[in-house]
Amino acid sequence: MGFCDELRQVSAAIWRAELDHPFVRGIGDGTLDPAKFRFYLEQDYLFLIDYAKVFAIAASRSPDLDTMAYFARLCAETLNEEMALHRSYCGEFGIAPADLEATRPAQTTRGYTGHLLQVAATGGLPEMLAVVLPCQWGYNEVARHLAAQGMPREPRYRRWIAMYASPEFEAYGRWLRARLDGLAAHLAPSDKARLKHIFNLSSRWEYLFWEMAWQRATWAVPEA
Distance, CA of 31 to CA of 160 (rounded, Å): 14
Q: Are 171 and 131 spatial neighbours (Cβ–Cβ below 8 Å)?
A: no
Task: Report which of 8, 101, 98, 7 is spatially closest to residue 48, judged by C-alpha positions.
Answer: 101
Is 206 catalytic? The answer is yes
Residue 72 is given by DSSP the state: H
Residue 59: which residues within 8 A CB-CB, separation 6 or more?
67, 68, 69, 71, 72, 75
Q: Find the catalytic residue in 90, 135, 141, 170.
A: 135
Helix axes 155-164, 22-29, angle to 10 degrees: 110
Distance, CA of 149 to CA of 10 (rounded, Å): 26
Is 127 catalytic? The answer is no
Q: Are 54 and 27 spatial neighbours (Cβ–Cβ below 8 Å)?
A: no
Give catalytic residue positions.
135, 206
